[in-house]
Structure 1
Amino acid sequence: MIDDLDRIMAVMQAAFDPLYGEAWTRRQVEDALLVGNCHYLLAGIDGEEPEPGAPAAGFSLSRHGFGEEELLLFAVQPEHRGKGIGSRLLRRFAETARRRGATRLLLEMRRGNPAERLYRAHGFEPIGERPKYYRQSNGERIDAITFSCNCE
């Protein structure tokens, strides 16, 4: 039986393009979860929590603090995209963040990330920019855009 960290890493390996260097290492995910204010959700092919030991189609990793919840990582396996899994997972993320006391959701992404359409459809709006923040594996730099969404 695979554990949740194995399922997260399997999705991350398939979902993140190495060109952008956005995937975290297993150690980074483990360390984040040890802190205590980081939380994850897994999504099966229906967008809901998968059966124990079943592969995940997606996941989210977030950090809670001071009435805000920041989405650190969000991914859906490429073969499961376009089926509503991301929308269901994003709604579950917002619901669990609210239960933890969050009134605002935050995320940061590279300019040109196709997930922007999903985030905007769920009420996220750009609030800031970090010019040339991300470095691609080919050395080119890409702006980071910070998004916010009220979740009261």
Structure 2
Amino acid sequence: MTILLLAENDNSGLSDQTAKALTAASQIGGDVHVLVAGAGAKAAADAASKLTGVSKVLVADDAGLANNLAEPLAALIVSLAPTYDVIIAPATTSAKNVLPRVAALLDVAQVSEIVEVVSADTFKRPIYAGNAIQTVQSSDAKKVITVRTASFAAAGEGG
């Protein structure tokens, strides 16, 4: 299984949300590739390459990706999607804008804001304003997932 993790970055550095989403991705199992997209994203890519559990870092350094607009970023992810079983990102404002588009373009259901990985296709997520936890099993061949990062510890460095 190969997993694509969309890194949360500000074109100059990597957000700690990425390291927490990496922990969730690692619990799913398989090789984790991190996509760092933006303009001048070298520092963020270097930081991603140091995280434990990252087997490859993909860098999309383009001025068109500088402002984290959903349309070009979703198109980029969909172009990479054929080689990945899981596309995952921290549940940030940016990813909540991009990943539903990716899921729609891939014609799969998105699994939103997971708080626990039960297995490679089964996850727990809060419902009813967090008053209940729902177990969700995805039968889609390709999974698109957002991670509620407060539920996961950050992956360490050493990758």
Pick the TM interval, shorter chain.
0.3 to 0.5
Asked which structure has the greater RCO (Cα within 8 Å, sep 6+), the reply is 2
- Could you tell me the TM-score, scaled by structure 1's length? 0.36
